[in-house]
């Protein structure tokens, strides 16, 4: 016999601009009974869910936040009450959004899960800079999405990542920018174009276009705020209004 459990939707709210929500996300939110919302999501997303109870479960680096286990148990509890739960995450839930853990947990507890994709911050950052991350004139054959903040606090193999020849989209790297830059400089020239976009797509957005060799110092000088996305690679040389590596620009 089929159980009477509700359902959990893992919804990507995009990088911050609510106009980047998909039509599907808006439709699902409208039917939600409960919104479980991350800290980086604009609270105004609740207007798309007029009948929903809103539960904030902020997770910001360096700040006190709800434990992952608590969030999972919270979703399970509401779903077992027969409710439609919308777990709303910044960016795309499948990109460093802990969706894998939540899917596994909920599925193991007999709760149906579906995912609604959102615009991930790397793409929002590229749009802000008006650059293609796979610009064929620069011989770029792909994009590598990587986090600088691993669960065990270890660092990625930056030299190997750099040697792949792809544009690097580095999430959660601002607080480790010296380590990131030093690791990449082991395999890339200091003149390699780089950029940082903070709070992409929002009114607080800031952009820094620089070179890998100057990346850490320029981030400090510009006091770039988090959350920020770091992009490194030759494709960044096409950033509008810059002539890299001869000059750097902060907006």
Q: Among all residues, which ones are annotated catalytic?
A: 38, 59, 172
* Edge-to-edge strands, sheet with 228-232: 143-147, 167-171, 228-232, 193-198, 206-211, 249-250
CA dist., res. 225 & res. 129, Å (int): 17
- Give the DSSP H/E element, type plus range, for residue 161: helix 158-163
State how far the alpha carbon of 206 is from the alpha carbons of 14, 125, 130, 132, 196, in Å.
17, 10, 14, 19, 8
What letters, b where the CB count within 10 A reaches 16 and e where it falls short, cover 79-94? Answer: beeebbbbbbbbbbbb
Query: From its phi and psi, is residue 235 left (phi > 0), alpha (psi between -120 and 50) or beta?
Result: alpha
What is the enclosing helix (H) or strand (E) of 179? Answer: helix 177-185
Q: Which two tokens stand for residue 65?
A: 């936040």
Is residue 25 within 8 Å of residue 35, measured between CB atoms? no
Residue 26: its H or E element: helix 23-31
Location of structure tokens 């148990």? 73
Residue 45 phi/psi, 5° resolution? -60, -25
């Amino acid at each position: 016999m089929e159980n009477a459990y509700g359902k959990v939707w893992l919804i990507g709210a995009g990088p911050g601009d609510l106009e980047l929500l998909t039509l599907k996300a808006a439709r699902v939110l409208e039917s939600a009974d409960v919104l479980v919302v991350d800290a980086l999501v604009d609270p105004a997303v609740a207007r798309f869910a007029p009948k929903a109870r809103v539960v904030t479960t902020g997770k910001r680096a360096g700040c006190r936040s709800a434990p992952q286990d608590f969030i999972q148990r919270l979703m399970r509890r509401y779903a077992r009450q027969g409710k439609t739960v919308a777990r709303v995450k910044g960016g795309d839930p499948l990109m460093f959004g802990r969706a894998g853990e939540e899917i596994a947990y909920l599925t193991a507890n007999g709760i149906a899960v579906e995912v609604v994709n959102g615009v991930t911050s790397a793409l929002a950052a590229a749009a802000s800079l008006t650059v293609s991350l796979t610009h064929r004139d620069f011989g770029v054959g792909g994009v590598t999405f990587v986090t600088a903040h691993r669960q065990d606090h270890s660092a990625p193999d930056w030299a190997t990542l750099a040697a792949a020849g792809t544009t690097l989209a580095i999430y959660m790297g601002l607080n480790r920018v010296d380590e990131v830059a030093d690791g990449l400089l082991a395999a890339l020239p200091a003149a390699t174009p780089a950029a940082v976009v903070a709070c992409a797509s929002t009114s607080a957005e800031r952009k820094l276009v620089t070179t890998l060799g100057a990346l850490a110092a320029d981030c400090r000088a510009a006091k770039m705020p988090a959350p920020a996305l770091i992009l490194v690679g030759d494709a960044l040389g096409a950033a509008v209004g810059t002539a890299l590596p001869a000059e750097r620009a902060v907006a």
